[in-house]
Structure 1
Amino acid sequence: MAITCGRTTPFHSVRHAMRLLETIAVHPDGLREDELAAMTGLPPARLTQLLRLLDRDEYVRRLPDGGYVPGDALVRLGGSGESGRLERQQKLQQALDALRDAVGAAVYLGRYTDGELEVTHTSQAPALPTVNEWVDFRSAAHATAIGKCLLGQLDHDGRRDHLARHKAARLTSRTITDPRVLLSALDRQPATMPVLDIQEYAVGTLCAAVPLTAGSAVGCLALSLPVGQAHRLRKAAEALNRQAAPTLLSLTV
């Protein structure tokens, strides 16, 4: 089965959103859209799209005169202590749920911490179930889109160290088990393309993952679809990239 995904821009929407928020945050009296365009250098169409997105999620608030100021969500997320932590967790889950509905697939948030893969959050629905974790994801990084996306963000030594500690077992007939072949595939993976799992982890399941960069943290967003919906994978993966900003913002602000 040959499935290709078009070229995408994994980080641009998040970087642009962060630039907007940083600009608005230091101008509490508000900035109009034309002023934001001049100060951020963002194209007008992209700026309008991001402002609508950020306004919808309450990161910014539009004033009656057309200016934009920090929104309630941005203020609350900046809080410290337990209330701030709970607010960030709630906002993150809301972002994942919205992303699930937008891409029409179960979604996952993966991280690589202290040498191990971890799926920290998921969002599913009755018609959009997550993958049955029949093999612990931590030992199946070689066979999952999440794992390959996370390994791809490590340096060569980090990848080799992980594969030395977690032997690449054959999970399906499509699983890559030769470390040299896997390392070569990771080296060739373009940063602008989603990482795919075409029935490598589980027969009947397709997955795609895109990196999330928040400082030095290694993370990714992923989605899964049944093989019967293979025709949707390309567009779903591209949508995952385009709409990743609210998820990353909830991790970084």
Structure 2
Amino acid sequence: MPTLIGSVQRALRLLEAAGSHSGGAPAKQLAREAGLPLPTAYHLLRTLTHEGYLRKVSGVFVLGDAAGRLAVGGLQQKRRSMILDSLAHFRDAVGAPVYFAVYREGEIEVVGVSDTPAHPACEEWADFRATGHAHAIGQCLLGQLDEKTRRDHYARHPVQSVTPHTVRDLRALEERIGSLERMQPVIERQEYTLGTVCAAIPITAGDTAATMAISLPSHQEARLLSVVDRLRSEVGALLSSLSFSISI
């Protein structure tokens, strides 16, 4: 095991050395910068090249596609962590579960949820993507789309009852969406889950439709507007971190 760990460490040093030269560097230079014997460096360079972490171009080694994917993955993980930290802040500030979602590539995508045992999130018992018409998150996102995009969404995800309180049909849904005032919260009462009320606010995230939402047990409905107003007042300071979600 120590030998394997040592090999990984040496390979990482070579990758770091290669990454410090945008135009690439020859094996002897990389070996010297990584502090490795030349035969060891040659062996590791061949392995890293075979696996796609390096490419040899005109006698020098440059980072390969696999190394790029590692970097992208690390950046995405950092962004997701920032989003979850932000959601936890909002959750604690408002005393309710907090959701962040976007409309991307024709689908509703819940990027992050933050809750606690005392304030659990609404269980996704029916696919959120297919039931956007029935929950505040989906209605808020659909309200930010143009009519053509919404029609395409309805063609793939028809409006239908999820609970006895779900909006009746497409016409009723479009009337509701048409009545929404810009930047005002969307309220939904037991349309997706019996015993749960929700509110969502639109979020400005470039050209991407985005929303943040909260949910409460229906017996706490009297708190709904005050909680979502508190959420809206808290969002501005940390909105820059949430915008990272668009590239996740």
- Give 1:168's aligned residue: 159
Shift of 1:148: 0.2
Contact 2:136–2:187 under 8 Å retained in 1: yes
Partner amino acid, structure 2, of 1:169: Q
SS in 2 for 1:168: coil
- Over 3 Å counting, the alpha-carbon distance change for 1:211 and 1:115 in structure 2 is same
Q: TM-score, normalised by structure 1?
A: 0.65
Do residues 93 (structure 1) and 84 (structure 2) align? Answer: yes
Contact 2:100–2:211 under 8 Å retained in 1: yes
- Give 1:136's aligned residue: 127
SS in 1 for 2:129: helix
Structure 1 unaligned runs (5+)? 1-79
Contact 2:86–2:242 under 8 Å retained in 1: no
Question: Of the candidates 226, 234, 239, which is equivalent to residue 235 of structure 1?
Answer: 226
Shift of 1:190: 0.6
CA–CA distance in structure 2, aligned partners of residues 225 and 82 of structure 1: 34
- Over 3 Å counting, the alpha-carbon distance change for 1:109 and 1:142 in structure 2 is same
- Give 2:174's aligned residue: 183
Contact 2:185–2:228 under 8 Å retained in 1: yes
More helix by share: 2
CA–CA distance in structure 2, aligned partners of residues 103 and 208 of structure 1: 13
Q: Which residues in structure 2 correspond to 1:38-53 (within 5 Å)?
A: none
- Give 2:100's aligned residue: 109
Do residues 146 (structure 1) and 146 (structure 2) align? Answer: no
Shift of 1:252: 3.5
The higher relative CO (CA closer than 8 Å, separation ≥ 6) is in: 1
Alpha-carbon displacement from aligned partner over 1:26-70 (angstroms, at most 9, x marks no partner): xxxxxxxxxxxxxxxxxxxxxxxxxxxxxxxxxxxxxxxxxxxxx
Q: Percent identity?
A: 42
Q: How many residue pairs were aligned?
A: 174
- Over 3 Å counting, the alpha-carbon distance change for 1:135 and 1:169 in structure 2 is same
- Over 3 Å counting, the alpha-carbon distance change for 1:175 and 1:81 in structure 2 is closer
Do residues 215 (structure 1) and 206 (structure 2) align? Answer: yes
Question: Of the candidates 140, 157, 180, which is equivalent to residue 148 of structure 2?
Answer: 157
Shift of 1:121: 0.6
SS in 1 for 2:216: strand
CA–CA distance in structure 2, aligned partners of residues 177 and 137 of structure 1: 18
Partner amino acid, structure 2, of 1:133: E
Partner amino acid, structure 2, of 1:179: L
- Over 3 Å counting, the alpha-carbon distance change for 1:91 and 1:163 in structure 2 is same
Partner amino acid, structure 2, of 1:231: A
- Give 2:5's aligned residue: none
